[in-house]
Amino acid sequence: MCVLVQYVSPVYKKVVTKLLKLISLDARDCSVSKLFKVLKNLLKEKKIPLKNIEMACDNALVINAIILLCNV
């Protein structure tokens, strides 16, 4: 699962997209609840509140990216 963040850089004064984390998943258990649990744990680890999530995208049944708008 590829997790991306997008934010306005105070240094460059423009929107920047960065890879937050590339997470290995067990292909035998990629249920929606498992994916959400993994994502929620990552957000907690990075201290990103759920309220900062602007948009989440998926491809078929597998979430492959999430865009987070975070205050920097």
Q: Delimit the domains of the chain by residue range.
A: 2-68
State the greatest distance between any 2 C-alpha atoms of the chain, in Å, as a whole number: 43
CB 43 within 8 A of CB 51: no
- Strands 15-22, 2-8: pairing is antiparallel
Distance between start and end Cα atoms, the chain? 24
pTM of the model: 0.65
| Tens digit of each residue's pLDDT (9 = 90 or more) over 29-60 | 877 788 888 888 999 999 988 887 776 666 54
pLDDT at 3 over 80: yes
